Amino acid sequence: MSTGFEEVRLSLPHIELAAHLYGPEDGLPVLALHGWLDNAASFARLAPKLQGLRIVALDFAGHGHSDHRAAGAGYALWDYAFDVLQVAEQFGWQRFSILGHSMGAITAVLLAAAMPERIARLALIDGLVPYTGEAEQAPAKLGEALRARQALSDKRKPVYAEMARAVEARMKGVGAVSREAAELLAQRGLMPVPGGYTWRTDSRLTLPSPLRLSWAHAQAFVRALQCPLSLVLAEQGMMGAQPAVRALLQDLPFEVHRLPGGHHLHLDDETGAQLVADCFNPFLRSP
């Protein structure tokens, strides 16, 4: 597996983020956005297979080697969208494409719908809209989130005596992954502490959302998209179990590829990564 990349740190006005750079400097500009509790290593198999692109694979705030948000701040999807804009500004990219997986794909949709003049193309992997919540559920959800936030200081991150145990835990986590994929994510996502290793991720990332978009909100963002969109759906992934999303896709002019594999099919093995690359190479290089 070829994983040649350059490690960089990006000093934004409000936070410092880490990223991996792939491809030639004069390649077409692409920002790669990983999923919840993952990191830039999510694209370690896929990015080297994408040709003619300058890919900036971010560690989202609170993930990987990026800084955590300031005390009192949160991790709303629109905050990630602002981070993406700031990264693009740093590279001087007025218009760019986004390669997004899961939460990264959802963030990409929100940004592309809100600021269509900035986004050229969306290449998305098993992600499109966030989990939604309707108005009648909002008071209870906010109460749940506030109580969890108050209780967070009493919680401690798990410490694993050996890195292999952390890898095994990640294999069984949200969006279960192969051992090789878990090892790649763990190599970037773990840090040494007394007694072994723990995850670098900000504990606040595991808090429940205080407010969710309604299904009407989510549809509005997807229908507002103006750029070409190519979506890879994993046959054993997380989107296939959402009938409302499937119905929405039938009503929209998106390029949809249904591929064998799980939620992390682009990372689990070389075969899956190549299948995804075969979908996205012609799409991302189209004029």
Decide: 31 and 96 in contact? Cβ < 8 Å. Answer: yes
Confirm if 189 and 35 have CB atoms less than 8 A apart: no
One-letter identity of residue 116: P
Strands 6-11 and 255-262: unpaired
Verify whether residue 178 is a known catalytic residue: no
Q: What is the pairing mode between strands 196-199 and 190-193?
A: antiparallel
Catalytic choice (97, 102, 178, 209): 102
Catalytic residues: 102
